Amino acid sequence: MGREIERKFLLVGDAWRDAATEHVPMSQGYIARSDRTSVRVRLAGERAWLNVKSGGFVASRQEFEYPIPAADARELLALATGPLIEKTRHIVHYQGFEWEIDEFHGASSGLVVAEIELDDEAQVFPRPAWIGAEVTHLARYYNVNMVNYPYSAWTEAERRGS
């Protein structure tokens, strides 16, 4: 069984940009969603994946991810419910940990979220100065919810992580 342990954070400033080593544009869409599970297709250049995740807005969830041909991903994205999520993923390495920083475009333009994958929910990790409030347990920060409730619709309090 696959398991993803991931925590999400807001960012403080743009200092992380100078440390980014990769910048990957991505499109993703959901071909099935429920309270218990989501099925997502992600296209990053000519690489693509089919992903199944258990529901819940917690740090640890079941996750199964399978590479698929990019041509298949483009066809599956046409079947997605709701608009596609468009973003650029920036990779930043900090003191032995890899941070994935997602900069959203389209209806969620202006939102930038940092994620870190861990081996254990209680794992201690160094926090760079550019890491702000944790938003792991706030449903609106999950891509699956941004399809119907994009950043452009959020209140100022929601944008601050409240």
- Please give the Cα distance from 99 to 89 (Å, whole number): 10
Q: Which fold has domain 3-159?
A: Hypothetical Protein Pfu-838710-001 (2.40.320)
What integer pLDDT is reported at residue 58 of this predicted model?
57
pTM of structure: 0.91
- Domain ranges within the chain, ordered by starting residue: 3-159
Q: Which residues are catalytic?
A: 30
What integer pLDDT is reported at residue 56 of this predicted model?
65
What integer pLDDT is reported at residue 59 of this predicted model?
62
Average pLDDT in the 45-74 region? 87
Nearest to 81 by CA among 36, 42, 32, 35: 32
- Please give the Cα distance from 101 to 90 (Å, whole number): 5
pLDDT at 52 over 60: yes
What integer pLDDT is reported at residue 40 of this predicted model?
94
Per-residue pLDDT tens over the stretch 90-148: 999 999 999 999 999 999 999 999 999 999 888 999 999 999 999 999 989 999 999 99
pLDDT at 13 over 80: yes
What integer pLDDT is reported at residue 93 of this predicted model?
98
Q: What is the mean pLDDT of the chain?
A: 92
162 — pLDDT class (breaks 50, 70, 90): confident
- Residues 6 or more apart whose CB falls under 8 angstroms from that of 68 comprise 41, 48, 49, 50, 76
Average pLDDT in the 2-24 region? 92
What integer pLDDT is reported at residue 77 of this predicted model?
97
- Please give the Cα distance from 157 to 135 (Å, whole number): 13
The CA-atom distances, in angstroms, between 117 and each of 62, 77, 79, 151 are: 13, 26, 29, 23
What integer pLDDT is reported at residue 94 of this predicted model?
97
